[in-house]
Structure 1
Amino acid sequence: MRGYFGKRREHGAEQPAVLGGLKLRLPFVHYGMEFPDWIQGAILCVVPMGITAVMMDTLGIPFELAIAFVIINNFMYLLHTHFGDPAIAGWITAGIPLYVGFLNGFPAGEERIQALIALQLTVAFIFLIMGVFKGADVLVKRVPVSLKAGILLGAAMAAILGEFAATGRVWKMPVTILIGAALGFFMMFSKSAGPLRQKYGLFRYIAQFGIAVPFALAYGFGILIGEVNLPVLNWSFVALPIGEIIANYSVFGLGFPPMEYFLKALPLAVAAYIIAFGDILVVSTLLKSANQARPDEKIAFSPGRNSIIVSFRNFLQGLFMPYLPLSGPQWTAGQVLALNRYMNSSREQNDSYWGGATGIFWGMSIALLLGPIVSLFQPGIHIGMALTMLIQGYLCGYLALEILKDEGNLQKGIAVLVGAVLATKGAAWGLGIGIILWLLLEKDWTTAGRSVAEVTIVSEDSAQAKKAE
């Protein structure tokens, strides 16, 4: 069903919008409500709840305020889909262990909050520059492969080591978390999962929810064996104490961070951007596949628009409510979820991509406002975050090795060193060591050492210049 009363889209065109280049699309006016996506979003509200555990441990924020941060952040995701960016936005997830390590280098309390403000505002500035001046090629495409792979390896090592450290989440409820991880890895990555999806519709339906089902099964089992406390249900709505957040966690209450905090945050902000740029490449590829599968609608993706909206989210949060996982370009699991239903539906079943892309966050955000749902899952927030970080560690490690697949042993060795230093000593040390190793080992300082390809290019340029004369 169409489900809205706005202008009808022509076959193969973009969904209608207003405000010209801003491409503002409003529910019921420019797209209909896709309630299956609302339901999927509501089920997946357990995923963003996981970050409350990290915020409580690292920043000392009480759960009642941490969940308010999550809710406000979730509603801000809708800025993308309401202003012409089709990305299902998310965190810069792979860097979370690196942010925690950076913040732990500051005294707990106001100084640590100010350090997070400095980091988030620096990330916002980088995204703004890259979005406005289209500088992604300069910062990412010209970054040595060994350094990019090393950053991903460092994020992978930090994620996994953090969960299995002596004070890691795994040991808070070992049986529950390890069972949840086993189920999650099986459903998402095993060789058996693909054939099972093709053969059984029920398995395919369950698998599309990502870690939500493994979380629910592990959570229930943890309650049965006594590792997880029984939830105490709260039947009221979740409060959003905006005044308290601004007074105690914003630049207006704590003051602007010292300049030295920004200088310390800069290497990590650069690493966070390099990680996040991988998400921009992924969403671009996924949306190209959607355009091929559904020729009735053109989904236009602009990396510049995406980066500017990400910058705005980070600026806003950095000023008013610093958010530990930062604001990133895409949530891959949610992107796949929305696209999977859209690509496998006809126009009669799902008129426009935008209904589902907005619906997933409407459903999730509203579910997070409901006290019974939040209190039901509150005892399991450590499970959700542990599963998120273990799976993120696997993905980052896999991507790093994929980048290095066609590279030589020199690049692979540098990547391992950068990753190990970054995971143990932080982004500044990791990037510094990576640049020094690249200059010492990879950079060819001799004119005689130029490759055949370089010589060929120079020769061709010289020949073309003579021909032009």
Structure 2
Amino acid sequence: MMDNDQAVELPGWRWGPFTFRLPFYHTKLYWPEFLQGVALASATGLALVPIMTGHFGLTFEQAVAMSLVHMFLIAIAPIAFGEPYAPGWVTPALPLVLTFVLGGYDTPVERFQAMTALTLVLTAMLAVLGITGLGKRFMEWLPNALKAAIILGAAIAAFKRVFVDDVDDYLLAQPISITLACAVCLIFMFSIPFRSLKLRSPMLTRLASLGLLPGFLVAAAVGPLVGEVSYDIQWGILLPPVNEAFAKASPFVIGWPSWDMFVAAVPLSLITYILLFGDLVTGNEIIHQAEDDRRDDPINIDTSRTHLSLGIRNGLMGILAPFFPTQGSLWTGVQVIIVQRWREGRAGMNSLYSGTASYYFMGLPFIFFLLPLLTGLQPLLGIALCLTLLLTGFACAYVAMAMCTHPTERGVVLLTAVAIAVFPAWIALLLGLVATLVLIGGSDAEAMEEKVAAEEAKLRQKA
């Protein structure tokens, strides 16, 4: 391995604080990452199409065109900005956003304007908090109970969206397919007994590393057998009508959000920023854990640069194809998969940037032009959406529950989480902050409990 003093970051073309690395020139193509990018994008990249066609007035083709814009902006993060992360949606915020937009606004125009308002408020937050460095200080100040409540609130909102709000459209329409898909994914991703089986079977390990895809493929195979899925595959090339989607969604055409929309968007944008910052912490930790094995490929982690790149991507999305929160910092499962192969050595992957480039820019955009794949996926998109929401809810729930150990803290977390899932975001945040201060007294319930116990002990001794 190259000596650490001689190791240099993979070269590229610098522009401002960013580094552009041209695919095939600066970065190599790796077929395992390329094929996984194509396959997993098929299962998840179009999951929002049913929402766009059902609640935002778009045709299937127009929704595909919007998804193309979203995925292109995601794909350029490691290419144009030099980010070391595998980017994705801020998925835990998605159910909260759908509740806010679909529950608060009635027409497609208003709903797209609300999406624009959310996106531009977040863009402003990213710019200010990133440039000034206040983002890190804010996260350090935020009480632990409130962080856990936001994550658990996202879980409750996700379950509510699947089992209550949209139950007739998805779960009751395809009950067997969705149940099987969710069961397979939950077992592969979270089952403790299954982890034991993976240790003895490399094939199961590789299968489980594909994330949502195995469950999705099970549903795709079983759905036609039980009469819940009917395929109408068409051949040819689709040119997604980006101009039509732009005409129906962009504020340049439909008008800009009102000031009331911008004000209403602030609390939910703040919640999304907290979730996004948590993803950044996770992504950095995944890289740090593998760095000792790849001293020959130094990775430049710069939180301020990441804030700026996220702000640019969100700003472009907000004015071109607004659908919040599709421009996040991390797709955790993909990050783990790429980093795991990267840490095995230069023979398997010359640079982490080549791995992310192969997965995203060289893989994702292709599916949006292949009509057989798109029409084959169309009857399965409701399944993909339910999978995304349910697995997000499950993961958020166990993360939030592990963050708190004190009984009072758990009660505050549950109270605030339910409020976040049910009430407007600003009311929920205010309730959570008041409950944290009144019932816990600060950010550390255990420390406050020990302080009170010590005071009680002193009083007993005096008595």
Determine helix, strand or coil for the equivalent of 2:21: coil
Instruction: State whether structure 2 residue 177 is matched by structure 1 residue 176.
Output: yes
Aligned ranges 1:93-104 → 2 under 5 Å: 93-104=91-102
Assess if the C-alpha contact under 8 Å between 2:18 and 2:305 holds in 1.
no
Q: CA deviation at 1:285?
A: 0.4
Q: How far 1:428 sits from its partner (Å)?
A: 2.0
2:449, 2:404 → 1: CA distance?
Answer: 20
- Write the letter of the residue equivalent to 2:287: L
Contact 2:89 2:328 survives alignment (8 Å): yes
Deviation at 1:11, TM superposition (A): 5.5
The alignment yields a C-alpha RMSD, in angstroms, of 2.1
1:450 to 1:428, Cα distance in 2 relative to 1, 3 A: closer
Unaligned runs of 5+ in 2: 453-463
Matched, 1:36 2:35: no
Q: Deviations over 1:233-257 (max 9, x none)?
A: 2222232323222222111101111
The reply to whether residue 420 of structure 1 matches residue 418 of structure 2 is yes
Match of 1:4 in 2: none
> Within 1, Cα distance between the matches of 2:427 and 2:6?
53
Q: How far off its partner does 1:22 sit?
A: 2.2
Shift, 1:349, TM fit: 2.8
The residue that corresponds to 2:63 in the other structure is 66
Tell me if structure 2 keeps the 8 A contact 1:80–1:306: no
Instruction: Work out whether 1:79 is the aligned partner of 2:76.
Output: yes
Q: CA deviation at 1:426?
A: 3.2
In the aligned structure 2, how far is the partner of 1:450 from the partner of 1:152? 23
User: Does the CA contact (< 8 Å) of 1:267 and 1:431 recur in 2?
Assistant: yes
| Distance across 1 between alignment mates of 2:182 and 2:142 | 34
Amino acid at match of 2:47: G
2:152 counterpart of 1:153? yes
1:343-358 maps to which residues of 2 (within 5 A)? 343-344=343-344, 346-358=345-357
Q: 2:298 & 2:199 partners in 1: Cα distance?
A: 28
| Equivalenced residues, count | 438
Corresponding residue of 1:125: 124
| 4+ runs deviating over 6 angstroms | 449-454
User: How far off its partner does 1:207 sit?
Assistant: 1.0
Give per-residue Cα distances to partners, 1:430-457, cap 9 Å, x unaligned: 112112223433337xxxx989989xxx
How far is 1:74 from its partner?
Answer: 1.2
Partner residue, 2:213: 212
Instruction: State the distance in 1 between where 2:223 and 2:138 align.
Output: 45
Partner residue, 2:10? 15
Pair 1:50 & 2:47 matched:
yes
- Conserved? CA contact 1:11–1:297, under 8 Å: no
Match for 2:49: what amino acid? Answer: T
User: What's the CA shift for 1:65?
Assistant: 1.1
Distance 2:64 2:352 in 1: 29
Task: Give the drift of 1:195.
Answer: 2.5
Q: Any stretches of 5+ residues in structure 1 without a counterpart?
A: 1-8, 455-469
Instruction: Confirm or deny: 8 A CA contact 1:71 1:369 kept in the other structure.
Output: no
Aligned-pair CA distance for 1:39: 0.6
3-state SS, counterpart of residue 328 of structure 1: coil
Q: Secondary structure at the match of 1:64?
A: helix
Alpha-carbon distance, 1:320 to partner: 1.3
TM-score by length of 1: 0.89
Structure-2 residue corresponding to 1:467:
none
Query: Of the candidates 425, 429, 432, which is equivalent to residue 430 of structure 2?
Result: 432
> Is it true that 1:268 corresponds to 2:275 in the alignment?
no
SS at match of 2:292: helix
Q: Which moved more, 1:257-266 or 1:22-31?
A: 22-31
SS in 1 for 2:45: helix
Amino acid at match of 2:19: K
CA contact (8 A) 2:238 2:371 kept: yes
Change (3 A) 1:12 1:238: same
Give secondary structure in 2 for the equivalent of 1:23. Answer: strand
Structure 1 residues 40 and 334: CA distance shift in structure 2, 3 A: same
| Aligned mates of 2:387, 2:177 — CA distance in 1 | 11
Tell me whether 1:197 sits opposite 2:193 in the alignment.
no
- Corresponding residue of 1:187: 188
Rounded to whole Å, the distance in 2 between the matches of 1:298 and 1:453 is 45
Question: Is it true that 1:397 corresponds to 2:397 in the alignment?
Answer: yes
**Residue aligning to 2:226:** 225
Q: Cα offset for 1:381?
A: 0.3
Which residue of 2 is the match for residue 287 of structure 1?
A: 287
**How far apart, in 2, do the equivalents of 1:75 and 1:251 lie?**
20
Give secondary structure in 2 for the equivalent of 1:19: strand
1:319 corresponding residue in structure 2: 319
Q: Could you report, residue by residue, the CA deviation over 1:161-205 in whole angstroms, capped at 9, with x for unpaired residues? A: 211116322222111111111100110111123232222121111
- Matches of 2:427 and 2:91, distance apart in 1: 21
Q: Which runs of structure 2 are paired with 1:446-457 in the superposition (5 Å)?
A: none
Provide the identity percentage.
28
Letter in 2 for 1:241: P
User: Partners of 1:113 and 1:143 in 2: how far apart?
Assistant: 31
SS in structure 1 opposite 2:172? helix
Of 307-316 and 158-167, more deviation after overlay is shown by: 158-167
- SS for the counterpart of 1:418 is helix
1:111 counterpart letter in structure 2: E
- For 1:356 and 1:28, the matched residues in 2 are separated by 12
**Structure 2 counterpart of 1:364:** 364
Q: Is the 8 A contact 1:313 1:327 kept in 2?
A: yes
In structure 2, the residue corresponding to 1:148 is in which secondary structure? helix
Cα distance 1:274–1:166, how it changes in 2: closer, same or farther (>3 A)?
closer
**Aligned-partner Cα distance in 1 for 2:396–2:276:** 12
- For residues 272-300 of structure 1, the C-alpha deviation after alignment (integer angstroms, 9 at most, x for no partner) is 11111110011000111221222221122
**The residue matched to 2:363 in structure 1 has which SS?**
helix
TM-superposed CA distance for 1:155, in Å, is 0.5
8 Å contact kept, 1:250–1:319: yes
Number of the residue aligned with 2:108: 109
Aligned-partner Cα distance in 2 for 1:450–1:155? 27
